[in-house]
Structure formats: structure tokens, C-alpha cells
Amino acid sequence: MLDIETQINSIMAADITGSVIQTHGTTINAVGFPAPVGSIALIDRPGSTALRAEVIGFKENLTILYPYGDISGVRRGNRVRIQRTIPWLRVGDNLLGRVIDAEGNAIDGLPQPLLEDRIVCQHDAPDPCSRPRIDSILSTGVRAIDGMFTCGKGQRLGIFAGSGVGKSVTLGMMARYTDADVIVIGLIGERGREVNDFIERDLGKAGLAKSVVVVSTSNDPALLRVRAPMTTLAIAEYFRDQGKDVLVLMDSLTRFAMAQREIGLSAGEPPTTRGYPPSVFAMLPKLVERAGRAERGSITAFFTVLVEGDDMNDPIGDTVRGLLDGHLWLSRKLSTRGHYPAIDPIESISRLMPDICDPVHLKASRAMRKSLAIYLDNEDLISIGAYRAGSNPEIDESIKMRPEIDDYLRQAVEEKAELPETVRRIRTLMLGEQVETPPAAAVETPVRRGNDKSGPDKDGNTTTNATANNRITNDRIARAAAT
């Protein structure tokens, strides 16, 4: 929240004025206007309403402003005056269930909510030494994620995909079925038609009830498309500071980067890779590092990345992948087969899964990944009938397991996958364990601490990894002999 001292220190003289001297592309240059970067200014237009603009830089004696609207009607000599120096945002519990724009204004047709607190949109990331370790699971309600790429409270993951592969559907399922206390959703650069589709079809009333949706459509000025992700994280930080576990779903970081590219090039920055200026690669870590676990509460974030031509190594995708704690790759090949969610289990990873899952669950997920990899390596031979059964036991097993694994990874939009049942199914499927559904508390409490590799066996006794592995191997040998 904005304290009194911060507000007083940010006050500047209200009579700072200047005048328009020229326009350059989508920017406006003013002279005699010494306002700080980030300030909001008003440009008077005779016969029309004043145009809002933001100071984005300086060049010699000129102040460079980027407008929030169409620059029609602006002419040389128009008066420029300061409106405020720090963009702030009103927040409160009444934001839940509402749809707002990048500046916090309600756009869902309902009255403006009564909000008691104010915050700034841009915050520094928490100090790295003050962050507690991530040691507990956040259930997303999506079986493929919870079973194969388990997410921890405070983890940051990317969802990488081309267009039309099912990102919005996957995000909607997570918003509806997660056990997070609050969800903050940022729709950045979306087509206007898709906003209501997402809210009414993918999110639903149940998901919206504990969510705040921040929207900046593709026709909004670049400044608002850059502001919207910051607003999304600022609202999440507000609820996190109340001790709540917050889930942030942001679609997409790519459109945020494209908007900043417009602003940076307009301000005179040199283009680098694929035309992106240096400011884009400087802002990405500042944004994603704001998510994470804090002393009170946590922000778990899923950032979507729209990759060009399904190329995971495009500049934004490559940069973001190195900043996050894991990534989910949505496969167009799976999508065209009607396999949803279209998460590719071979190309995806959760870097924190070994630290938050019990060893048996981790072993089962690795066994599933190995089985899929063996099948995919030999898929061409299997498809044309060139593989002869019995030639390779591992391939035989992967062929046998493939329908059951596909059934496990598929999930209808209307189906919620409970975390204990998800863990039970993957252990039974891959390790042959007939285990009862564990209580939620047992699943969500990590059993790994440092070098401790112990975990419960199928009889509920604590055992080492080596003992568990031997027991599983002996069980398989016995089943094979019986066959």
C-alpha cells in the first residue's frame, strides 16, 4: 500500500508545463517540460478533450511522450501539463469477481467497486535472501500438470505454444479447479471477442468468483498493454501480503514484449534480435521475478508465451525459459489429434518437482516419461507395422501402456482432477502399486529434505529408494513369471 511518506515525497509542483514542438511517429516531443520518466501528462487540444500521455524519455532538451490515445488534433504549441508523477492503483477485497482495465477501472458493466487501499503498479522484486524455499504443492486441478509436472506454491512456469493450441482452455481449467485462495488473470493483447469467451466459457462463474481479471486488448495503446501485466502482479502482491496463496495466470508475455518493443523503438532505442530493443530483455526479469514465495503468502505464476511458427527458440521464448522454474509445451500435433490438454510430456519440465513430491510419485512420473519417449522413438516403425512384437521388451511395454497413459493425460474441461487421486492413479499405473488414495495433507507435505531420499512404501512403511526399487523390480519379475 502507498504510505503517507511515499505519497508526500512523490509530490511535485502542479504548475510544471511545457509545449508541443513536434511529433515523431506515434510519439510527441515537448519542450520546457522537465517531468520525470513515468509521469502522466495532459496535452491540451483546442476543441477536444485533453490527451493523456506518459513520459518515456528525454533527448537533448526534448521530453518524449507516448500518448494513451489517437494524436489527432495535436499541433505545435499545444500546452502540456503534468497530471501525476506516480501511477497508482486502488485495490481491495471488492476486486474479486470483477473485470478491470490496466488502470483499475471496471469494464464489466457494473458500478465501480469501493476500494480502501492504494498501491503503485511497479514494485521491485523481493530480496532473494528473504524468500523462503518452496516446499509445498499447489494443486492446479489439471491431472497432466499435477501428476507429471507438479507445481509448488511460489513457483513460476511458462506455457509455450503457437496460436490455437489450447492455452486459454488450459488456463481456464486451472482457474476453476486450483486450490489457490485468489486468482489474478492478465489478458494482454487479446482480441476483444475472446475476452468474454474466456470469462464466460473457460473461466465460468465459479472461477470468476475468486478471481480478478485484468484486460488490455490488442487495440489498446502500447502503454496500457505494458501496464496491464504490472497491474496484474501489483494486485497479486496485495493479496499475497495478506498471507494468501495467489495464482497468477498471464496471457501472454509475448504481447507484453511486443508492446514494449513499440515503445522502445519509438523512444529511439536500437533494435536487436528480431527487432526487440534492449529494454524488452531488461523488463522481462523485473516482471517475472515479482512472483514467488514470501514470508507471508505466495504468488504462483503461469506465464504464456506465444511462440512464432511453433519455434520454442524464438528470442522471447528462449529468454523467458531461462527465467522460469519450468515450462509446459503445448503440442500442435497432440491438439490436432483431439488430445487435451495438449501438454507434451517429453518437452515439458517442472524444475521444483523433485523437491516437493514424494520419491514414489517422482519415480512414477519418470517412468511415464520414459515409456512415452520409448514409444515416440519407435513410433514410425510401430505405425507402419515394421516392428515385430517381442523384439524389445521395453518397446512392447510402451505399446501396451500407451492407451492407458493417454487416458491418464487426457482430461475433459468439465472434469476436476483431485490431487490425491491424481497421485494414486499415476503410482498404480506406472509402478503397479495398489495404494489407497492418500489424504490431501499427506500429498501436499513434501517428504524430501536435503539429502533425505526416504519415502513411504506401498504398506505405509518408510523405506529407502534402493529398497523401494528392489521391491518394485521383484514385483514385476513375479508378475512376468506368473504370465
- Over residues 123-145, the pLDDT tens digits come to 888 899 999 999 999 999 999 99
459 burial type by CB count under 10 A (0-12 exposed, 13-18 middle, 19+ buried): exposed
pLDDT value of residue 4? 63
Nearest residue to 350 (alpha-carbon basis) of 340, 361, 334, 339: 361
DSSP SS3 for 101: strand
Query: What are the φ and ψ backbone dihedral angles of 17, each rounded to 5 degrees?
Result: -135, 160
Q: Residue type for 64, please? A: I
- Over residues 69-110, the pLDDT tens digits come to 989 899 999 999 998 888 889 999 999 999 999 999 999 999
315 burial type by CB count under 10 A (0-12 exposed, 13-18 middle, 19+ buried): middle
* Alpha carbon distance 425, 16 (integer Å): 66
- The distance in angstroms from the start CA to the end CA of the chain is 67
pLDDT value of residue 120? 87
Using 50, 70 and 90 to split pLDDT, how confident is the model at 16? Answer: confident
- Per-residue pLDDT at 360 exceeds 70: yes
Nearest residue to 430 (alpha-carbon basis) of 362, 341, 482: 362
pLDDT value of residue 460? 45
Instruction: Kindly compute the dihedral angle of the four CA atoms of residues 459, 460, 461, 465, in this order, to the nearest 10 degrees.
Output: 90
CB neighbours (10 Å) of residue 104?
A: 24
- Over residues 446-480, the pLDDT tens digits come to 444 444 444 444 444 444 444 444 444 445 444 44
**Angle at the Cα of 289 (from 452 to 65), degrees rounded to 5?**
175
DSSP SS3 for 191: coil
* Alpha carbon distance 74, 17 (integer Å): 16
Q: Whose grid coordinates read 523390480?
A: 473
Contact status, residue 38 vs residue 53, Cβ threshold 8 Å: no
pLDDT value of residue 480? 42
| 241 Cβ contact list (under 8 Å, min separation 6) | 294, 296, 297
Contact status, residue 254 vs residue 130, Cβ threshold 8 Å: no
Using 50, 70 and 90 to split pLDDT, how confident is the model at 294? Answer: very high
Q: What is the pTM of this model?
A: 0.85
> What DSSP character marks residue 140?
-
pLDDT value of residue 2? 54
- Per-residue pLDDT at 25 exceeds 90: no
